[in-house]
Amino acid sequence: MKAIGFIFSTLLLLATPTLAADYQGRTLDGRKLTAKVYSYNTGGVYDAQVEFKGDLATIYFANGGQLLIRLNQRTITDPSNILGYGRIGQIPLGRSLGVGLRSDNGLTGGLTLSAGRLEDLWRINLITGEGR
């Protein structure tokens, strides 16, 4: 009986529509927008393109690298200050859990547990004129 409840709950979550990331009532999902991305870990600013999908943002760096982060909020109030958490090699499942090929120090497997650490924080600054 518990298995049926679990399967039903999982199917219900998968069937729930994903809300789009939006700015001023317009969706940003599905378009690549030019941005500068700041890493709180390295202190570096990187040229990139960003593609939003719900509460996720895929960052495509100019050097060919890519990073998936989870946004703090879907509704963007300031396109020069979009915050999200993510770690290279990980797919974020929330601010404190990610899965992927790389593991955190002291952990085995592909799980990374954190409390929304500062080094996992990224700030996206959309270039003026796009996403507005």
Q: What is the pLDDT of residues 24-57, one digit of tens each?
A: 888 989 999 999 999 998 899 999 999 999 999 9
Does the model's pTM come out above 0.85? Answer: no
Give the integer Cα–Cα distance in Å for 117 and 120: 5
d(CA 77, CA 68): 21
- Average pLDDT (8-17) is 49
d(CA 102, CA 105): 10
Calpha distance 58→76 (Å, rounded): 16
Distances (CA, A) of 8 to 84, 93, 112: 30, 20, 27
